[in-house]
Chain A
């Protein structure tokens, strides 16, 4: 090639330049073609690269000619002198260059390099339909990698194809049977759909929307009545290649496999995010909600709707067609979103129930079946989760209010709790209902509006026919606890402070009886621990304004525990005795300031390999200091416990200060490394109030002879011959405490 180029310069000095240009440039093309026909890949690569380079030079030629810069054509090394676009295209077609490339000796590296030549053809002429067909048919029976390369070429040229060319590719894509569509096809569909989007569909709208959001920020604007047309009046989905195909692929009615259907949904989401799909996305939102109403392909429809809403609309209160609040208002008006979701949940559960009737291995606890069972394209558990996630999105969106009515709460409760098809459904519902999250829109977010909380608590959580206290799980109790705190906060019985800890400000709080009832009947041991903990929290987290009532309260609880023991003893009810003892022991712990994180059940080995450090603790005002070893990952609560042990003090007999501030008991769960202070810690002794001493449950019980006799009676009443076992287990060296 270089020789030809140098020869061109030399020959031009002796012969007519035009003839030499024609001769040498044609020769260059012929030589490149010759290379392309070689059997060695290296030569063939050289051939295709040369043809590409020549096409680039012709582009310069065409540019200079277009700008009437003939001088540049002659002088520029970058431009051809004789060859122009039409001669080049004619040469390519006459020599059947693409037939050669895509023929028997097809090679992935050559295919990858030929898109520039095609783009050149499209730019200055057209890509003939025969070449389009040739590319398509070249894929048949080829290796996956080669098919991908050919499809990539098709994607690259799809934006420059004529309408006929695009139609041809489109018809070929549509001809692929749904069941055969795979990842490679979907990648082609994605690229082709995006590159052939009609550019006349309001890209300007998107920019306008962006600008209006940027300009006005969060300012309130007056709501103007907006004319709402059905999206079909504004856009025709058939103007968008492959988009209707993607939609149909993801539906339950399609033969596509679930994986391809899922991919089709992802691809459709990506395509709809593009600017020209501004109006089309609204059409598909309507389609999605129509499916929800019809209970068809709901899981995928709500997934798509969720994606469109969160990724292509602006999170603003402004009234604008691209504002999320505006579109939600429109959709809610048309489809009554929350009601549609709940109705669909009922229909879907009924369908699944029917399917389960034929499943031999069905049981509520069969989690594997829950994940395997398919009613529609997706497994049951995904259908279940998608619906809850979508409903949550709707009812927690702050700028357009949608909420669960009392009736709807009842329906959803009945569906997923009372008549749950699987235990796991119950658990999911309880976690979902009981979650109380901080979010960026407000301090604390509940699934229910505050207005509906009393109904939920009083009519559902307090109704044992709807919420079994006996079989209550930890999730169930967590849900109860959340609403117990919320309702008492709403009724000004509790004050919620730091780390969602609460203080009782009215002893006549709501849910007290329910708590005791749960305590007596709940079968699950872990749940029982949680119940006991909440009962005791309500006894010790008393606001200072109720200081004088604390004593009576603690006395009442001590006496209640002893009454339960007495009742258990009389009726030989060991379950009741165990519960009373559990409550009493935990009461002692709580009273003495011990909490769960302090009596850490993890073994010391857990911290063996963690970095330990020494912290200095100084007791004021004596300035007695001690060094305590603690791990970075251990909590302030553990540090408090270790300090107490080192100085021989009860946990409620001293206060710790660090960084000039008191370490509150509410901070005890924080890890040392999170706290970011390694000492010295200063402690001050505090006087335990006389009230606290007098009403310590231990003192109340120990000073009552009747109670002591009851304990001995309980011990001796167990005549089942366990005495020797007992004697080997008890701590006879326990040091007696002096009152």
Chain B
């Protein structure tokens, strides 16, 4: 399982998922789908990355 996650982490971020998070057109329950814990973790990492970047911009 870890090796599959490692593969996922080596890949560029999936553009479809990223778009969904950035555009926020869908409800949160759909974007952060808790029925698949790994997908949720993946999405949360995108969110974290997004939030981190914004904060850095604000500091500038």
Contact = CB atoms under 8 A, between A and B. Distances in A.
B4 A581 contact: yes
Contacts of B36: 712, 715-716
Interface string A202-245: 00000000000000000000000000000000000000000000
A736 B13 contact: yes
B41 interface: yes
B5 to A, nearest CB: 5
A711 B4 contact: yes
Contact of A584 (B2, B7, B13, B15): B7
Interface in B6-35: 6-17
B7 A711 contact: yes
Nearest to B1: A718
Size bracket, chain A contacts: 20 to 34
Given A581-B3, A711-B7, 14 more contacts: A577-B4, A581-B6, A585-B6, A585-B10, A698-B10, A702-B15, A711-B4, A712-B38, A716-B36, A726-B1, A726-B5, A734-B9, A736-B45, A738-B12
Interface string A700-739: 0111010010011011101000110010011110111111
A578 interface: yes
Contacts of B39: 712, 716
B6 A699 contact: no
6 closest cross-chain pairs (CB), A and B: A739-B12, A715-B38, A702-B11, A737-B12, A734-B9, A736-B13
Nearest to A703: B15
B13 A702 contact: yes
B38 to A, nearest CB: 4
A738 B53 CA distance: 13
Contacts of A731: 9
A278 to B, nearest CB: 70
| Chain A at the B interface: SS class | helix
Contact of A714 (B4, B10, B41): B4
Contacts of B2: 726, 729-730
Contact of A715 (B1, B11, B14, B15): B1
Interface of B: 1-17, 36-39, 41-42, 45-46, 49
Interface of A: 577-578, 581-582, 584-585, 588, 698-699, 701-703, 705, 708, 711-712, 714-716, 718, 722-723, 726, 729-732, 734-739
Contacts of B3: 578, 581-582, 585
B49 A736 contact: yes
A722 B36 CA distance: 14
Nearest to B10: A588
A711 B8 contact: yes
Contacts of A732: 41, 45
Nearest to A718: B1
B13 A739 contact: yes
Contacts of B11: 698, 701-702, 708, 737
Contacts of B42: 712
B14 A722 contact: no
Contacts of A730: 2, 5, 9, 41
Contacts of A714: 1, 4
A736 B10 contact: no
